[in-house]
Structure 1
Amino acid sequence: MRLIAADLKVKFSFSPYSIFVIVVLLLAAQSCSTTNHAPIHKQAYHDITSRYNAYYNASEKWKATIKNIETNHKDDYREVIPVFPYTNSKETSAFGSDADDIVKRSTGAIQLHPYSNWSDDHFLLIGKSYYLKGDYEKAAQTFKYISTKYKDGVDYIAIQKDRGKKYSDVVKKKKKKKDPNKPTLKVTKNKDGTKTTEVIDNRPKRKLLIHDPARSEAIVWLVKALTAAKQFSDAEAVVAYAQSDNKFYQDYDKELLLAEADLYVKQGRYNSAIAPLEKVVGLLKKKPRARTRPTFVLAQCYEVTGNYSGAARGYKNALKGRPNYDMEFYAKIKRANLGRRSGSGSSEIKSLLLKMSRDGKNKEYLDQIYYELGEISYSESDKLSARKYFRKSVQASTSNKEQLAQTYLRLAEIDFEEEQYAAAKYNYDSCLQAMSKDDKRYTPIDFKDKMLSRLVENLNIIHVEDSLQKIAHMSEGEREKFVKKVISDRQDAEFKKQDEKDKGAVPNTLNNNNNNQNAANNSSSGSTWYFYNATSRAQGYTEFIKKWGDRKYEENWRRKDKTSTTITDETADNSTEKKDTTVDGQNAALTKDGKPLSEEDQVLQGVPLTAEAMQKSNENLILAYYNLAIIYKDDLQNYRKSLRTFEELNTRFGKHRFLLEDYYHCYLLCKDYLNNQSKAEDYKAKILAEFPNSKIAAVLRDANFLAQETERENAINNYYASAYNDYVSGALDSASEKVLYSNVRFNPNTLQPKFDLLKVLILAKQNRLDDYVQGLHKLVATTKDADIKKAAEDLLEALNKSGLPMIDLSKNPPPVDTVTKAATANSIANPAANVVSNMPTTNSALPQDSANKTAVVATNTNSKQQAVTTSTGDTSKVKTNEIVAKTTTPPRPKIDTVISNFTYHADAPHLVMVFFKDATISQTQIYGAVNAITLFDIQNFASDRLTAKSVLLDANTKLISVRQFKNKDAAGEYIKAFETHKTELLKDIDASKYFIASVSFENFSKLLTEKKSDVYEQFYLWKYNP
């Protein structure tokens, strides 16, 4: 007793009567126990010292630790909150030292007092401590040990047996009694003669003064541990076991129901969580504080499952239980949200929210209050007020980045709905900055943001070029006045900025952002203020590009050591002319003489004042209009706006370089999307009248044209392949005959330049050196194929260097075929199959009618010219006037590879393509794959800023392109990474239905033209994976 008093720091004075009562109670407790106990004096000693020393201290520490965790816990009310506030391992693991202390105390008590009735309670504390530390496996093992080892509490006989003692040395075994816990049926006879059957629950309950086994509580905690370890099926099995266990104490039914509900919430099975939560809320009716959290979780489950009336009722009931301030606020906000959804009582909800906004206690939550007010205004079709409240929400934002991202997202969505794409892009940018990359919405938003970036880029080009041309078309006097006004406004702005700086004024980020958005929305308005003036803004845009370069949208974009890496075809030609010298990061525009430009000349920089500059400006406008229309059509599916943009391009520029493609897109838009058949026929007539010889016109005249062209293309390719194989194998007469009759069999002969080169090479192998040289000169003079001409020139240059035409044939000649091989590396092996025009597809941003454009592919003719020796084997004597080519035939590629038109350039920019060869693969699967690939690229290749996009090659073949890679090797590294994750990226798609390959941009263009994915697959295997 002294030990107990010393530990509790309390002085006890027991009278004889008190001691008598304690002894009687201990005897009664022992007689009521269902397990075997030690002799009473020994049992009393171990029980008292274990209970009032180690267990008391350990349990108090446990209570204090749980209270600290609950106090520090912050719920994420955007999701259904957990049933228990101590299930976050990151939060609970911070109290590991307290948990270790509890384990230490309880372990010592078990060792010192093994017979104590509190041993199972000590084990329970140990298991709970492991749970807090996040070691759920050890926790589950401990709880399982308690439920099996201490079924009825601590058993003295079992412990003695474990220690090696004989049963006869202890006490006699008690007789096994009938199970008194089985449920019984009570039949009551009613007055009307009917009978009512009632099931009586006979499971045990906790008793006063009697120690109860810890088994039931251990089973509840076992469910919690298995749930935390995500062993959900095992946890459900334990719940089912406990519900059917007659020895499970009724007092723990509420805890078991809560553990079951938490199990379902963790799995996202909110419908299943509703039943146990409803039961436990009913059982806790008389304990409003205890039922507050379960009631709130129940309301959330109602909400996510669509039971909005039940959810509103649940949030109202949660407020009655005096929740903490966060839960109280969110209960009110969610009630307001539900009222907005149901469309009832919006004025009442608005009044409540406005009242909350005036309460100083809600300062931290103003961003959410204003957001809800904005949503209510939007639901009432008052978009002006909605924007106002959303902007207030942004302004009031402090640390809640999730809410900030959501608010910017809603602003962007409103702008997108109203087709204010430039403003929408700015808000999507801001949304992505605030949003976590782990958010499931990040990838689709980032995809849309990149799409809008391309659109805004073209809008800016149009805006800038129009503004510069407007200045160029001014009279000298008007231009002079304009320049003076710009300089004056610039000086005023500088003075104002300096004044604000002197006063210590800090510009408001939100207002700046709003001004940018307003400027974007009203760029064409007649505002006289400098920053809203279209011409002035164009000049500012030009100055920004000159100073900073065409920078990507990213953090720290102002750093001096960052350089522009994106140069379009249109600006690359002028990049040298537009370079400025910078000093300490400041723009220092210079004249050709190296002198600084005057202020007036700086303002007029970029203005197209010459005919050449105006032509270049118009070309930029034409390309921007065309790309803009394609983006409206393919990316935004805004077919009305796409048609209007195509027609505006035609109206402004008449006979421009994309006129044929423009007409064809307009034809498709009217025919397939806008249901305007008469207008579609008008565009068809224009194509047939203005471009009668184009491939597009041929397709419009004859639906079978493509099939016929493909058949003819295959015939000529096969014929050329046969001639080339004869040349490689040494059947020169047969090869020569086939070349001779090629023009007879095929008219027109689209592979004529290749046949001509093959004819010349046959002459070389036939030792007709003079004819060979003359043939090369003729090719250079007459062929229109640039690649064939280049090959012939290279052969002549090599021969000139070797002096082969003037050699002494009595000596060893130089290796002619080696020279031939080097010079024809990109000319001879494969035919040009580019017969069909590059028809505009849904994803072709820049289609061309290129029927006459052909290309050539590398060969691998591993041949070697040798001198023929005499019959005696003496290599010093060579037969005169005889040079014979000894050819080592390379591995012969498949026939389709030979006839392909694809070229191999390892250092050229590449794409990575996924070819889907099965027409049954749905577009939904393709879109899902695009989203998965986009997320994969962001996570693994973020610095490369890759873009994944779907492309329709033909009716049976769909593609996904990922661009862009510096060269073949960079694309190959990406493919290696892709291959390891392809089952995740292309899930539900059989591997036999697709193949992955890298494609150069040149070959991709040909692929869109030829529609031969199977041929490219063989070419890829031949050249990239030999």
Structure 2
Amino acid sequence: MLAQSCSTKKDKFINRQFHALGTKYNVLYNGNIALERGKDGVNNEFTENFWELLPVERMKVDEDDIFLPGQTKNADFERAEEKAIKAIQVHGMNFHGKEKNPQIDEAYLLLGQARYFDKRFVPAMAAFNNILNKYPTSDKINQVKIWREKTSMRLDNNEGAIEKLKRLLNEEEIEGQDLADASAALAQAYLNTKSKDSAIAQLTIAAENTEIKREKARYHYIKGQLYNEFGKKDSANMEFDAIIDMHRKIPRSFYINAHIEKSNNFDIANGNDIEFQEYLTELEENRENRPFLDKIYYRIAEYHRAKASDSLSEVYYNKSLRKIRSDQYLRSLNYETLGNMYFDKNSYKTAGAYYDSTLTAMDKNTKPYRIIKKKRENLDDVIYYEGIAQTNDSILRIIGLSKAEQLAIYTKFAEDQRLKALEEKELQEKAVQQQKNQTVAANNFDKRNPKNLGNPPGLSRDLKTLSGNKNNSSFYFYNATTVAYGKNEFLKLWGNRKLQDNWRHSSQSANIANTIQGDSLTDATIEDKLFNPETYLASLPTEQVEIDSIAKERNFAYYQLGIIYKEKFKELELAKSRFEDLLENNPEDRLILPSKYNLYRIYLELGLNLKAETMKLAIINEYPDSRYAEILLNPQSELSKDENSPEYIYTNLYKQFANEEYAAVIAEAETQIKRLEGDDFVPKFEILKASAKGRLYGFEAYKAGINHIALTYVNTEEGKKAQDIITNAFPVLEKKEFISDDNAEKFNVIFQFENNAGEDIDAFIKILDEEVAKIDYFDLKTSKDVYDENTTFVVVHGLKSIGGAKGFAELLKSEEKDKRGRVVKPKITRPYFAISSPNYAIIQRHKNLNAYLELQ
């Protein structure tokens, strides 16, 4: 009987039962165990991101999850798939197209699930379709349909999945977990298609019918998130309360995040503050919540910030940062918020440091990262100019005081420095004495316990207690203060000795006395200067030229700060104060007009209409011929980009530059720079002028122009570009040594013309083009290049050697015969010189033609 029942070729009752039992309790049993183990692994790998709308199914699919045929990622899913295939191949009993083993449909279901969780959705779809086609009467048919539509959604066929799941729910009488799974899958399809209101109804059905508490909590949480999106806070709180009521029946992360989301819905304006603070304190003090203190502290910090308790909120933001383990998003939120707080307090350097930390916790390929990065870059300018403004303001304020007042301020400052130095010295001496006492105690302990002398460090608990640990240690080299003090004492005793053998020998001590004496004298001199108020008084500028320079630098910093706050940060109040302070400080004429115009625009935006009208009249009356007055009198001119706008003038001037009208470009650029003083377009005209001067007068003129831009417009795009040119391009452009013709690949023939000779250069080029067109074995081109204000070159490009260039030029000068055999004089007899393309670039750049010709 046993031998006969093993056969899959006989359609007998005993054969069917034997293979059904073997399939169910052996192959599929082990396959399902492997599947569950693999699902647990997937769940453990998946980290819930409660900052975003949770997915209905706890599985993340990345774009890089691509597998070759036969390739798998998870060994457990591979084993489950092998068991399912074994069940189908070894225990299948197909007679006349009908399967007699009732467990084979479950084997295909296991096969599809294993492939699904291994993120191989196309093979999974094939397995589910096989059941639907071959086993339509299976008792697992509804589960199979649900799994097929879940797979379809993973393949981005959400519309088809919605249609088929709705048909399943309408036509079939399903209940229990199958109904929960179908509704949850349909909810995810609705979420994928942005039909969030439809998803809520399906999540409600799923939460009511599932018996798995973890899933129930997930469905309630997603509903709460959706209700919050719709602004229905009461409904959201009901969902979060449902999760909180499950308490220890669900993962702690859902319980805590439900509390936090519910607390986010607290009405600060009308709610009971005392009860809410007690609620938050209870969350904080509950020992079970320790793994989630980072989020709890962040929520408490947000509450205090909303109540304008910035000092308390900062404490809790920092507490949250210290508790964060892996939540990089929360880390970035804490750093960004702290940065914003310090920015609002005008502590720009500290704000910049927090923004730097924010960027380290963010994904670089995201829009929020780019926003923070741009804000941080803009902050560089603020930090730079605020530093200048504050420093120069302090200097000018001190200079404005009487000598007696100056002396009183610096006397107090010097005394404070002396007291700090004494305190630091006392701390060092105490630390050294403490170290000595502990060393004596440790030695005495070792004498009383000889066995400990041979023990490795750390074996004796008493020794460990005496010596401490690295974080809270009395060990000499773990204490920075005692180490620094020890270094000083060593130098005083032994001098500055080399690290070598026999360093203590007398031969090495010849200069100890001098070293000690010199060090003592140096220390004494430094201390005398630090604690002497006359030192600081002597550092104050006294020359009027120097004082004026400080004031001028301060005023320019105020102007730049006004522009930055207005344009980049939209901080109109800060911009207003900077421009108003600037105008009160007797600024240069070039800053007055743009500052007044910017103040006019700010007054309008702040609703200060009376001040705006006063400023408008001042600009029109005091500067009637300015561009700003024209804009105020005719606002449409600015919008239409008329011929007086900087954009229009710059565009035309650039066209002249491209046409090599360098002298005209320089003259017009200088005119516009004076006319538009303080305008954002001025650096662009400066760049154009520097480039034109470089083309006309050579590298040194270009270098001077670029250096001026880099120094004058430090924090503009043009200033940064100029600095980049100085750093990276100048080392290459400065080279004026000619290269050997053997190292060049392209050569030119140059015909030289004097601009004031009255010769028709264009006529010459026309004749030259006709002659060049006769040469078909080279790809030759001609051009007219300005050399300097007195000289123009006509150039033939495209020759391959210096000899070839000279030969071509001589060919142009040779006599020819016409069709009748008569000798025709050459059309081009003008002098020329041949030059390689690299050397031609050098003579154009450095205007050293004569130096090149002397070498020929």
CA contact (8 A) 1:340 1:376 kept: no
Q: Cα 1:318–1:685, aligned 2, differ >3 Å: closer, same or farther? A: closer
Q: What's the TM-score, normalizing by structure 2?
A: 0.59
CA apart distance, 1:844: 4.1
Alignment partner of 1:132 is 2:117: yes
Residues 422-821 of structure 1 mapped to structure 2, 5 A cutoff = 424-438=351-365, 440-470=367-397, 475=403, 477-478=407-408, 481=411, 484-485=414-415, 487-488=417-418, 491-492=421-422, 495=425, 607-670=540-603, 672-676=604-608, 678-680=610-612, 682-684=614-616, 686-687=618-619, 691=623, 694=626, 696=628, 710=643
* Whole-Å separation in 2 of the counterparts to 1:712 and 1:280: 65
Q: Match for residue 375 of structure 1?
A: 302
Aligned CA-pair RMSD: 5.5
CA contact (8 A) 2:559 2:582 kept: yes
* Whole-Å separation in 1 of the counterparts to 2:634 and 2:354: 48
Q: Cα 1:341–1:596, aligned 2, differ >3 Å: closer, same or farther? A: closer
Q: Match for residue 515 of structure 2?
A: none
CA apart distance, 1:299: 2.4
CA apart distance, 1:709: 8.9
Q: Match for residue 228 of structure 1?
A: 154
Q: Cα 1:485–1:291, aligned 2, differ >3 Å: closer, same or farther? A: same
CA apart distance, 1:317: 1.3
Q: Match for residue 135 of structure 2?
A: 150
- Select the residue among 78, 91, 105 that pairs with 1:113: 91
Letter in 2 for 1:129: A
Alignment partner of 1:259 is 2:191: no
CA apart distance, 1:627: 0.7
Q: Deviations over 1:863-921 (max 9, x none)?
A: xxxxxxxxxxxxxxxxxxxxxxxxxxxxxxxxxxxxxxxx999x96999xxxxxxxxxx
* Whole-Å separation in 1 of the counterparts to 2:723 and 2:596: 33
Letter in 2 for 1:621: R
CA contact (8 A) 2:88 2:104 kept: yes
CA contact (8 A) 1:236 1:260 kept: yes
CA apart distance, 1:440: 4.6
Q: Match for residue 48 of structure 1?
A: 21
* Whole-Å separation in 2 of the counterparts to 1:146 and 1:363: 48
Q: Cα 1:151–1:497, aligned 2, differ >3 Å: closer, same or farther? A: farther
Q: Cα 1:678–1:281, aligned 2, differ >3 Å: closer, same or farther? A: closer
Letter in 1 for 2:147: W
Q: Deviations over 1:156-186 (max 9, x none)?
A: xxxxxxxxxxxxxxxxxxxxxxxxxxxxxxx
Q: Match for residue 339 of structure 1?
A: 266
- Select the residue among 37, 51, 65 that pairs with 2:38: 65
Q: Cα 1:691–1:946, aligned 2, differ >3 Å: closer, same or farther? A: closer
- Select the residue among 826, 833, 853 that pairs with 2:662: 826
Moved more, 618-627 or 433-442: 433-442
CA contact (8 A) 1:696 1:839 kept: no
CA contact (8 A) 1:665 1:840 kept: no
What are the ranges of 5 or more consecutive residues in structure 1 without an aligned counterpart?
A: 4-18, 20-35, 154-211, 509-587, 725-753, 755-786, 788-820, 862-902, 912-944, 950-960, 972-1026
Alignment partner of 1:280 is 2:212: no
CA contact (8 A) 1:73 1:91 kept: no
Q: Deviations over 1:723-770 (max 9, x none)?
A: x9xxxxxxxxxxxxxxxxxxxxxxxxxxxxx9xxxxxxxxxxxxxxxx
CA contact (8 A) 2:690 2:706 kept: no
CA contact (8 A) 1:95 1:133 kept: yes
1:710 aligns to what SS in structure 2? coil
Q: Deviations over 1:212-241 (max 9, x none)?
A: 2x3322222222223334443343344245
Q: Match for residue 228 of structure 2?
A: 303
What are the ranges of 5 or more consecutive residues in structure 2 without an aligned counterpart?
A: 94-100, 435-467, 473-518, 730-856
* Whole-Å separation in 1 of the counterparts to 2:637 and 2:184: 71
CA apart distance, 1:247: 9.2
1:625 aligns to what SS in structure 2? helix
CA contact (8 A) 1:826 1:857 kept: yes
CA apart distance, 1:323: 1.1
CA contact (8 A) 1:235 1:263 kept: yes
Letter in 2 for 1:62: L
Q: Cα 1:389–1:704, aligned 2, differ >3 Å: closer, same or farther? A: closer
Letter in 2 for 1:79: E
Q: Cα 1:620–1:354, aligned 2, differ >3 Å: closer, same or farther? A: same
Letter in 1 for 2:558: Y
Q: Deviations over 1:542-579 (max 9, x none)?
A: xxxxxxxxxxxxxxxxxxxxxxxxxxxxxxxxxxxxxx
Q: Match for residue 240 of structure 2?
A: 315
Letter in 1 for 2:298: Y
* Whole-Å separation in 2 of the counterparts to 1:341 and 1:386: 15
CA contact (8 A) 1:471 1:479 kept: no
Alignment partner of 1:348 is 2:275: yes
Q: Cα 1:82–1:692, aligned 2, differ >3 Å: closer, same or farther? A: closer
- Select the residue among 307, 326, 329 that pairs with 2:253: 326
CA contact (8 A) 2:227 2:235 kept: yes
- Select the residue among 38, 52, 59 that pairs with 1:79: 52
Q: Cα 1:288–1:694, aligned 2, differ >3 Å: closer, same or farther? A: closer
2:663 aligns to what SS in structure 1? coil
Residues 380-391 of structure 1 mapped to structure 2, 5 A cutoff = 380-391=307-318
1:653 aligns to what SS in structure 2? coil
* Whole-Å separation in 2 of the counterparts to 1:716 and 1:311: 59
Q: Deviations over 1:969-1001 (max 9, x none)?
A: 999xxxxxxxxxxxxxxxxxxxxxxxxxxxxxx
CA contact (8 A) 1:838 1:848 kept: no
Q: Match for residue 405 of structure 1?
A: 332
CA apart distance, 1:276: 0.8
Higher relative helix content: 2
CA apart distance, 1:674: 4.3
* Whole-Å separation in 2 of the counterparts to 1:354 and 1:632: 39
CA apart distance, 1:125: 1.4
CA apart distance, 1:152: 2.6
* Whole-Å separation in 1 of the counterparts to 2:277 and 2:319: 15
Q: What's the TM-score, normalizing by structure 1?
A: 0.50
* Whole-Å separation in 2 of the counterparts to 1:458 and 1:647: 16
CA contact (8 A) 2:669 2:685 kept: no
Q: Cα 1:858–1:676, aligned 2, differ >3 Å: closer, same or farther? A: same
Alignment partner of 1:366 is 2:293: yes
CA contact (8 A) 2:555 2:587 kept: no
CA contact (8 A) 2:74 2:118 kept: yes
Q: Match for residue 570 of structure 1?
A: none
Q: Match for residue 514 of structure 1?
A: none
Q: Cα 1:647–1:152, aligned 2, differ >3 Å: closer, same or farther? A: same
Q: Cα 1:368–1:720, aligned 2, differ >3 Å: closer, same or farther? A: closer
* Whole-Å separation in 1 of the counterparts to 2:55 and 2:527: 68
Moved more, 495-504 or 60-69: 495-504
